[in-house]
Amino acid sequence: MKNYMNWVDHLFEVGTPIRRERDKLAGMLAKAQALEIEAAGLRAAARTGRAALVANIEQRWTPAEIASAQHKAEWTAPPSLDVVRDPQLRAQLRGLDGEASPVDLLQIFGSLLRQHNLLSTATDAERRETLERVLDWHNHGLRPWREAVRPGDAQV
C-alpha cells in the first residue's frame, strides 16, 4: 500500500521505527486486500458451481420433489423470500442460498440504491421504493446473517 500514511515521511526527523511500523501495517492491509480478492474469486466460483449443481439436480429430480425438499428445509432457512417485493433483490438473496458473507450483503446493498440522488431528484414514490428494498434487505439478508453469526465470529 504505497500511499498508506505517506505523510509520516514528512514528519520532522521521523525515525526508522515509525516507518517500519507504518510499513508493517501497510503490509497487513495489502495482505487483507489480496485475501479479499481471493475470497471474491471463491464466491464467484461457488455461485457458478451452484448454478451447475442446480442444473444437475433439476435433471435428476422433478420440480415437485425439489419444491418438497425446499419446503422441508424452510425451518432452518431464513424466512421465505416470497414476501420480498423487488424481483431483483429477491433473486440476489435467493442466490446466497443461506450462505452469505458481509461482502455479499454489502454488494447486494449497493444494488438497492438505484436512484442517483434520493434527496433532491427522487420522487416520493422512488424514495418509498428504495426504503422498501432497504428494509427487505435488512429483514431477509442482514438480520438472518447477524442471527446466524456466533459472538466473536464477525461484526457488522
**Alpha helices (runs of H) in 1-152, residue ranges in sequence order:** 16-60, 63-73, 87-96, 102-112, 124-137, 143-148
Q: Are residues 83 and 49 in the same domain?
A: no
Q: Are residues 67 and 8 in the same domain?
A: yes
Report the SS3 class of residue 117: coil
pLDDT at residue number 21: 95
Q: Are residues 3 and 49 in the same domain?
A: yes
Residue at a domain's end among 75, 93, 118: 75
pLDDT at 156 over 50: no
| Total number of domains constituting the chain | 2
Residue at a domain's end among 49, 75, 101: 75
Give pTM, 2 decimals: 0.55
Q: Which domain holds residue 6?
A: 1-75
Confidence of residue 153 (pLDDT cuts 50, 70, 90): low
Provide CB contacts within 8 A for 118, sequence distance 6+. 126, 127, 130
CB 43 within 8 A of CB 97: no
Provide CB contacts within 8 A for 22, sequence distance 6+. 4, 5, 8
Q: Are residues 137 and 117 in the same domain?
A: yes
pLDDT at residue number 8: 93
**44-92 per-position pLDDT tens digit:** 888 788 888 989 999 999 988 988 887 777 645 555 777 888 888 888 8
CB 63 within 8 A of CB 114: no
